[in-house]
Chains A and B, each alone.
Chain A
Amino acid sequence: MPFIPHTEKDTREMLAAIGVDAIEDLFDEIPAELRIDHLHGVPEALNEMEVSRLMRERARRDGSPLCFIGAGAYEHHIPTAVWDLATRGEFYSAYTPYQAEASQGTLQTIYEYQTMITGLTGLDVSNASLYDGASGLAEAALMAVRANRRVKSGLVLLAPGVNPVYEHVAEAIAGSQGLTFEWLPMDAKSGNVAFEELPEGKEPVAVVMQQPTFPGTLEDVDRLTDWAHEQGAFAIGIANPMSLALLKAPGHWGEQGVDIACGEGQPLGVPLSSGGPYFGYMTCKQKHVRQMPGRIVGRTTDLDGNPGFALTLQAREQHIRRSKATSNICTNQGLMVTAATIYMSLLGFEGLASVARKSHANTTRLVDGLCTIDGIDRLYDASYFHEVALKFDRPVAPVLAAIAEKNILGGFDLTGGAGTDALLVCATETKTDADIDACIAAFAEEMA
């Protein structure tokens, strides 16, 4: 099946109709110095047979190792029904369809998704999703600038537990729009915010915190949310949605709750698949809804009084508000959200809590076992959910490489970020006791 339906004849006819000689001429208004001839590192196009062969060969190389890596994306069991249903023709679209209201089933799915995510995060409204957790933070920061209008500093303070990749992405998206991102000081013992050293009077527009933190610890988010509000800033909470089955929802952090919550939705039924596609979620308090980017589906009644679903508050969006839109780069991840909605429906709140509890128990077994090995210890003294940073008495990379030979991915090398030899490990509900013990034994053998 050809991916582009136009024949060369079609293309010639269309160009002739608008009086242009070649497709290239359509791009004339882009100055030559802004163009690039080719993308570095991107090879020439391959045909379908060549691509299939290449991808099969690469997929084989992935193998099926025992994975104890988390660091922002987590392996969870996905019931077969999730993708069986999500890939049905009725749902199988990456975006909200055009003439969205003609697709009531799609809109209802998004509406149910929004309801579930607001329930998990304890906030009033959700959008239909964003690209991923990292771009979600960028959008949340930009949203805070629009909604927290009294503060003009453009300064966004980040708790030390925020995923460093999210900071890079937020900086790339929002850095050129007058926002600056600064890290808050870290307490070396707990790995969390050093409350005694928090800077007063910087007039931040927003304070971002993550729970659990990137190195897996649990932060005092109640206190940090209150501190943000004392500074006149918005509180932005990033949370792993799976953890919210056990931990306090961001909407209830501190006295008033966060103003905006966002994060990575991948743990809810989306496979790791080498890094994407995933989806970002975003929820907020009702009073900020007009500054929220992205699509929102609402429930309404039609002329005959029958219930139905419609896209709502579209005047915030770029097809109406053009350059003044709340975002000109966001989209919803319709297919991923469909999978997440089915996943959450199948598990229910109790099911999510059971996955979360089992993941916590498995990680405890793994960490307790690893810490009996000479040369491995906890890096931070703090509570955790399903991920823990460990301190090593030697470089981590060679140990990981040796264990990989035994078909075990032993964790995420934290050495660069932590400034010391350190490893981040995670054992979700997908691991059996035997898997965990095999991992511990592999480390013990390598460290002996």
Chain B
Amino acid sequence: MSELPGDLLYTNDHEWLRREDDGSVTIGITGHAATSLGDLVYVELPEVGQDVELGGEMAVVESVKAASDVYAPVAGSVAAVNEELADDPEKINADPYGDGWIVRMKIEGLDESELMSPDAYQQLLDELDD
């Protein structure tokens, strides 16, 4: 598996977060999650302006054989969604940390202790492989 981007934070549920300059966070699913699901065929996105609780359902990613909820790794309100995924969900498979981003959220603050560094997430992946 390819290198994990070093500037992101990760979750147990195989999601990633990027802190943007304006204080918002961008959220997607990791390459591991995308590979496990297989070719994505549909992404159900939340509405812009919608409030999301920590751990709440934020989006649904669907492959040919499975549909999985994406849980909010932080609480906040949805500032933007990646509209291009509606027509092109496989962007998540092709570029999970870039063009395959899912949601941008406005947040009050970020409790990083609940999130993982790239190294910690890599360790989780290594354990899964064992």
A interface with B by C-beta (< 8 Å) = 149-150, 290, 314-316, 320-321, 324
Does B63 count as interface, using CB distance less than 8 angstroms?
Answer: yes
Q: How far, in Å, is A180 (CB) from chain B's closest CB? A: 23
User: Please, which residues of chain B bring their CB within 8 A of the CB of A315?
Assistant: 41-42, 62-67
Docked CA distance A324–B41 (Å): 17
Least CB separation from A290: chain B residue: B42
Contact of A324 among B63, B65, B69 (CB under 8 A): B69
Q: Is the CB of B67 within 8 A of A320?
A: yes
Q: How far, in Å, is A315 (CB) from chain B's closest CB? A: 4
Chain B 43-75: CB-based contact to A (< 8 A → 1; otherwise 0): 010010000000000001011111101000000
17 contacts between A and B (CB under 8 A): A290-B44, A290-B62, A314-B64, A314-B65, A315-B41, A315-B42, A315-B62, A315-B63, A315-B66, A315-B67, A316-B67, A320-B66, A320-B67, A321-B67, A324-B60, A324-B67, A324-B69
Docked CA distance A375–B42 (Å): 62
Docked CA distance A318–B41 (Å): 18
Docked CA distance A290–B64 (Å): 12
User: Please, which residues of chain B bring their CB within 8 A of the CB of A290?
Assistant: 42, 44, 62
What class of interface size applies to chain B in its complex with A?
Answer: 10 to 19
Whether A149 contacts B42 in the complex (CB less than 8 A), given A315-B63, A315-B67, A320-B67, comes out as no
Q: Is the CB of A149 within 8 A of B62?
A: no
User: Please, which residues of chain B bring their CB within 8 A of the CB of A320?
Assistant: 65-67
Least CB separation from A289: chain B residue: B42
Docked CA distance A324–B68 (Å): 10
User: Please, which residues of chain A bring their CB within 8 A of the CB of B69?
Assistant: 324
Docked CA distance A320–B63 (Å): 11
User: Please, which residues of chain A bring their CB within 8 A of the CB of B44?
Assistant: 290
User: Please, which residues of chain A bring their CB within 8 A of the CB of B47?
Assistant: 149-150
Docked CA distance A316–B62 (Å): 9
Interface-central residue, B44, B47, B62, B66, by most chain A CB under 10 Å: B62
Docked CA distance A315–B44 (Å): 12
User: Please, which residues of chain A bring their CB within 8 A of the CB of B42?
Assistant: 290, 315
A-B pairs, top 6 by smallest CB distance, nearest first, are: A315-B67, A315-B62, A321-B67, A320-B66, A290-B42, A315-B66
Docked CA distance A391–B20 (Å): 72
- Contacts A320-B66, A324-B69 known; list 5 others, CB within 8 Å: A290-B62, A315-B64, A315-B67, A320-B65, A324-B60
Q: How far, in Å, is A327 (CB) from chain B's closest CB? A: 14
User: Please, which residues of chain B bring their CB within 8 A of the CB of A314?
Assistant: 64-65
User: Please, which residues of chain B bring their CB within 8 A of the CB of A324?
Assistant: 60, 67, 69
User: Please, which residues of chain B bring their CB within 8 A of the CB of A321?
Assistant: 67
Docked CA distance A315–B43 (Å): 12
Docked CA distance A149–B57 (Å): 14
Docked CA distance A249–B62 (Å): 32
